[in-house]
Amino acid sequence: MFYFLSKIFWLMFHPISIIVVLLIAALILLLLNYKAASIVIIGLTIVSIVIAAYSNIGSYILRPLEERFVAPAVMPDKVDGIIVLGGFMINNISEQRQIVELNSAADRIVEGVRLANLYPDAKFVISGEGGIYADGEQRPVLKLLEAIGFNPARAVLESKSRNTIENALMSKALVDIKPDENWLLVTSAYHMPRSIGIFRKAGINAIAVPVDYKTLPAGGFHVSGSSPDDTVSRLSAGMREWAGLVAYYLTGKTDALFPKP
């Protein structure tokens, strides 16, 4: 139930959805002859679009998430396993075109493979990339590992999880993770605070290795020089993660509203 409610909530909470709702409300008010109220809402909508598309507000709210955790300056001597969270492949294109198509989060698998080579005795889990080719051939993620020279037989695929809490619980059950083991957790930097909170709650001693940064390390609010697509994307990611932190904390899936290193 939580999974489906979260999807519905985010569909409505997405910046574009909010703008659509505001425009519908303005149209209804206009039809009801509340012209002044309609003009006010239209004005607010235009201001919202300008801020979302042409300012760095997305980076402004995303940056604290990305700076919350940093990878260890010195990696631990003993690592029992590495978990790479999925979301770095475009599964439907990979499956239907029978290719390996990566998205902007591809840093996750690149860093995961680097760490797996650094710790050859550690278990290597990829959680949440469950796609297979339409004709039942090898999973795209395994084909990717093979293409870059990494032994795909070493990878343990957790292919059923649909969100971060399921990533943690299903990975733990799949490879029997013990509380006293050291596991490196690789995911996007903005996603790391929520991920660490969830993995800690699940009883996994996760060491953060953030990748896939979207922001610069400093800067105030200003007009953005990026394309509107990029600025809205960062805003969307930031809103989603902050909302996720609140939702996971209120439902007891993490012990802290904003997990600390």
Q: Which residues of the chain have pLDDT under 70?
A: 3, 129-138
Element (H, E) at 234: helix 228-250
pLDDT at 130: 58
pLDDT at 4: 74
User: Which pairs count as long-range contacts for 42-47, CB under 8 Å and 24+ apart, including other chains?
Assistant: 45/19
pLDDT at 136: 43
User: In this predicted model, what pLDDT tens digit does every residue of 11-20 receive, in sequence order?
Assistant: 778 888 999 9
pLDDT at 24: 95
pLDDT at 137: 47
pLDDT at 36: 95
pLDDT at 138: 52
Q: Are 184 and 83 in contact (CB under 8 A)?
A: yes
pLDDT at 129: 66
Q: Are 238 and 62 in contact (CB under 8 A)?
A: yes
Q: Enumerate domains of the chain plus CATH numbers.
A: 2-66+227-250 (no CATH), 81-211 (3.40.50.620)
